[in-house]
Amino acid sequence: MDFTSIRLITFDCYGTLIDWESGMLRAMRPLFAGVADETLLKLYSEIEPELQSGDYLPYRRVLAEAVREIGNRLSSPVSEIEAEAYAESLKQWQPFPDTVAALQSLATHCKLAIISNIDDDLFAATREHLKVDFEFVVTAQQVRSYKPSLNHFHEAIHRAGKAGITQDQMLHAAESRHHDIAPANVLDLKNVWVNRRFGRQGSGATRPASAAPMLEVHSLAELAAALEA
């Protein structure tokens, strides 16, 4: 891929910048003692898109309902208080080890933005962990829907345009082929798959998908190195 025209990189956040699988497992293990991590992640990958495909719910509610449904399927009930505490734990989920340095490097070459299935207040807490400035942040709360809906992407393209950046000067980077690469392809938006699970079996907490990215990297550091080169 030719990076010379790129002026803005939009990022999915959770799973791409934030190590959401480690964060959710840390919060779920006390609720489901003895259940394998991959089982919990697979259940989440099935349940979350089902909740997001109906009437809009805040992501905090999606998290809470998802963990309660995992409890139902495992015959291990989760209380409302426990579910709310699980959702609140997202504020403490940490970036991947390479995220902050890579973002800071990328920010010297182009503008950065976020396109995320998240609530505004939850991302505000996450933003403190990322330690860079973003040109804009598009959330599910703002567009009242969840990726892979195109609403996030239309809004991001609109905001980029207001900053004088055209769609062909944008690159979208994401871990989920279902939520991000597929809709980016529909819009012919340049994209890169940050395959955080490279070398591991299964798709973890993300719904499997076959959408083909324009470029695949295995870390944000690899993307930063490619852009610098």
Label residue 105 by pLDDT band (50, 70, 90).
very high
In a domain, 41, yes or no: yes
Total domains, the chain: 2
Do 15 and 26 reside in the same domain of the chain? no
Give the DSSP letter string of 118-178: S-HHHHHHHHHHH-S--S-EEEHHHHTS-TTSSHHHHHHHHHHHHTT--GGGEEEEES-II
Q: Residue 133's domain is classified under what CATH number?
A: 3.40.50.1000
What is the structure's pLDDT at 222? 96
State the Cα–Cα distance between residues 53 and 5, nearest whole angstrom: 35
**pTM for the structure as a whole:** 0.96
Average model confidence (pLDDT) across the chain: 97
What is the structure's pLDDT at 229? 78
Q: What's the pLDDT tens digit per position in 58-74?
A: 999 999 999 999 999 99
Label residue 228 by pLDDT band (50, 70, 90).
confident
Task: Considering the candidates 2, 12, 55, 98, report the single residue annotated as catalytic.
Answer: 12
Please determine, for residue 217, whether its predicted confidence score (pLDDT) is greater than 80.
Answer: yes
12 flagged as catalytic: yes
Do 135 and 149 reside in the same domain of the chain? yes
What is the structure's pLDDT at 209? 94
Structural domain containing residue 30: 20-92
